[in-house]
Structure 1
Amino acid sequence: MLQEQITEYSAEINAFDTSNADELEQFRIRFLGTKGIIKDVFDQFKAVSPEEKRVLGKVLNEFKQLAEAKYSTLTDLISDTGLKTEDSGLDLTLPGEGFEVGARHPLALVRREIIEIFNKLGFSVAEGPEIEDDWHNFSALNFPEEHPARDMQDTFFIKKGGENGDIALRTHTSSVQVRMMEAGKPPFRALMPGRVYRNEAISARAHCFFHQVEGLYVDENVSFADLKQTLFYFVQELYGEGTKVRFRPSYFPFTEPSAEMDISCTICKGDGCQMCKYSGWVEILGCGMVDPNVLENCGIDSKKYSGFAFGMGIERIANLKFEIKDLRLFSENDVRFLKQYKTVIL
């Protein structure tokens, strides 16, 4: 009886042929599945007499090999010819859809390069919240109550008044300096990169949000000469040897004395262009010695410690680095613009 079943099933397997993947799957389930014919035949084989087992054992193995070989052959045939399945309509032999390799944003490239340069001088990276209270964003940094930066036209206020004073989007990453000095003890040598917000009209040269990198160094016997040499080294590393530097007196509430630092225009090489307003010089950062009041506000003895601070807009640095004249391009997500920086390695 079992012998006759195997003969009939073998004839069915030999006669089976298909170029359809769904039909082949049904064949596999019928013969090779966990509840298929081969499983059933081997279960019946357990009940036959020892004499029949000696005869049927070889026949059963050949029957199983026949079904497996048929399935394997038809599978390879369908795969090679790339015929479509009726249900999915997919040709599995077609090449896959390509995708483009991404790249870092130009601002991210410049940010990383700035951090790497200052890392060589021992500066670590510190970060803080983008939503700040009045103390960390203004008061601790020596901003007087009447300072115009506190007005609505310069600051995005979230909440006026309250237990911690006004709450606003930070206008600079100097707030991170305050948090770091409050939480630790000198010496401090750190960079504070991040996004900042100011209520300004959007144009080719200004935006309501932009990115800063600020630096702070506090220790004993820190001088303005240390500040100048640090920034001179930074400029030579970033823009190359031969880049000229000059310092101009300025004013910031949290530094005294204060200065703005200019470099010779990298676009026109000092001859004069729209970027440098035909002066041959471009201002890239503000700096100065940390005001003693700021140190005292953070619990640091200003008679024992001194320090310097500086801050720069990453967009301005990127403008000069890549000769980009409109900083709105940085936030428009125009793929045509971003593709230009795929091969840039800084």
Structure 2
Amino acid sequence: MKNIETIKDKYTSIIYNTNNLKDLDKVRISAVGKKGEISCMLQEIGKMSIDQKKQMGPLLNSLKNDIINQIDQKKKELENIAIDKALENESIDMSLPINLSEGTLHPVQQVMEEMAVIFSSMGFSIALGPDIEDDFHNFTALNFPPGHPARDMHDTFFMSSKNDEIKKVLRTHTSPVQIRTMIKDEPPIRIIAPGRTFRCDSDQTHTPMFHQVEGLYIDKGIHMGHLKGVLMDFVSKFFE
């Protein structure tokens, strides 16, 4: 049987000097392929005596594994070289920022913004308020007295608080924005109050969080005809 170290040195040299994947695969086949040199040597073990098997078996298996590892490492090296060459010849500048596709507005947000634009064109300002409101702005100032059904736990999300703290709720409507606006500003007032609202209501047509748009118009000489005109003008523009 051929000297194992000689075979190892031979294939180590061949693998080292191989410079493309096609030739490397030929080396693999000639060394450890089904009919490769090392594979044939392993097949000869069956014809050996027990003592020879004990001696040569581990040596040949070690040789095979070593050559396979060298081939695998060389393959990775050649693949990396091929990638580097491809990048060097690439016509696209890989350092340029990529064009990421932008998302789109949620339909609800899109509608809210469309409504805001329409009312703004009619002279209304956009007024916003907090999602978490106090009892006064959400109920008392809107003439919801203690004991009113809207104050019940099954209708409203109450925030936990200490006894001496002001009771807080997730606002059940955007009407508190009207109260805050009237406290802060003097007439004339012309606003819409869009935003999220929250109620303990969940079925096929309701969710615990929904959106509202309320309007407030305070000025001398304002009457129901103005309300009708604003609504008709809005509907005409919104559904055009």
Could you tell me the TM-score, scaled by structure 1's length? Answer: 0.41
Aligned equivalents of 1:84, 1:148: Cα separation in 2: 71
Contact map agreement 1:171 1:198 (CA 8 A) in 2: yes
Deviation string, structure 1 residues 52-100 (Cα, Å, up to 9, x no partner) = xxxxxxxxxxxxxxxxxxxxxxxxxxxxxx94249xxx95739777643
Is 1:157–2:158 an aligned residue pair?
yes
Q: Residue type of the partner of 1:149?
A: A
In structure 2, what is the equivalent of residue 239 of structure 1?
Answer: 239
Change (3 A) 1:226 1:182: same
Q: CA deviation at 1:143?
A: 1.0
In structure 2, what is the equivalent of residue 219 of structure 1?
Answer: 219
Deviation string, structure 1 residues 210-246 (Cα, Å, up to 9, x no partner) = 1111111111222122111111111111123xxxxxx
Deviation string, structure 1 residues 311-335 (Cα, Å, up to 9, x no partner) = xxxxxxxxxxxxxxxxxxxxxxxxx
In structure 2, what is the equivalent of residue 84 of structure 1?
Answer: 83
Contact map agreement 1:135 1:165 (CA 8 A) in 2: no
Aligned equivalents of 1:149, 1:165: Cα separation in 2: 18
Q: CA deviation at 1:183?
A: 0.9
Q: CA deviation at 1:188?
A: 0.7
In structure 2, what is the equivalent of residue 79 of structure 1?
Answer: none
Runs of at least 5 residues in structure 2 that lack an aligned partner in the other structure:
1-18, 20-80
Is 1:101–2:102 an aligned residue pair?
yes
**Aligned to 2:115, what secondary structure does the other structure show?**
helix
In structure 2, what is the equivalent of residue 143 of structure 1?
Answer: 144
**Aligned to 2:195, what secondary structure does the other structure show?**
strand
Q: Residue type of the partner of 1:219?
A: D
Structural mapping, 1:193-342, within 5 Å: 193-203=194-204, 205-240=205-240
Aligned equivalents of 2:165, 2:187: Cα separation in 1: 26
In structure 2, what is the equivalent of residue 28 of structure 1?
Answer: none
**Aligned to 1:104, what secondary structure does the other structure show?**
coil
In structure 2, what is the equivalent of residue 117 of structure 1?
Answer: 118
Change (3 A) 1:217 1:164: farther
Change (3 A) 1:227 1:161: farther
Change (3 A) 1:201 1:123: same
Deviation string, structure 1 residues 97-145 (Cα, Å, up to 9, x no partner) = 7643321111121111111111121001011111000000011011122
Q: CA deviation at 1:146?
A: 1.9
Bigger proportion of residues as helix: 2
In structure 1, what is the equivalent of residue 29 of structure 2?
Answer: none
Structural mapping, 1:118-133, within 5 Å: 118-133=119-134
- Give the 4+ runs in structure 1 shifted more than 6 A: 94-98
Count of aligned positions: 156
Change (3 A) 1:83 1:206: same
Aligned equivalents of 2:219, 2:157: Cα separation in 1: 34
In structure 1, what is the equivalent of residue 177 of structure 2?
Answer: 176
Change (3 A) 1:214 1:182: same
Q: Which range moved further: 101-110 or 158-167?
A: 158-167
Contact map agreement 1:118 1:234 (CA 8 A) in 2: yes
Q: CA deviation at 1:149?
A: 1.0
CA-based RMSD? 2.7
In structure 1, what is the equivalent of residue 40 of structure 2?
Answer: none
Change (3 A) 1:175 1:100: same
Structural mapping, 1:59-78, within 5 Å: none
Deviation string, structure 1 residues 138-159 (Cα, Å, up to 9, x no partner) = 1101112221111111100003
Aligned equivalents of 1:94, 1:214: Cα separation in 2: 57
**Aligned to 2:206, what secondary structure does the other structure show?**
coil
**Aligned to 1:193, what secondary structure does the other structure show?**
strand
Aligned equivalents of 1:98, 1:185: Cα separation in 2: 49
Higher CA-based Rg = 2
**Aligned to 2:210, what secondary structure does the other structure show?**
strand
Could you tell me the TM-score, scaled by structure 2's length? Answer: 0.58
Deviation string, structure 1 residues 180-228 (Cα, Å, up to 9, x no partner) = 111111111011111111111242x110001111111111222122111
Aligned equivalents of 1:223, 1:124: Cα separation in 2: 20
Change (3 A) 1:84 1:175: same
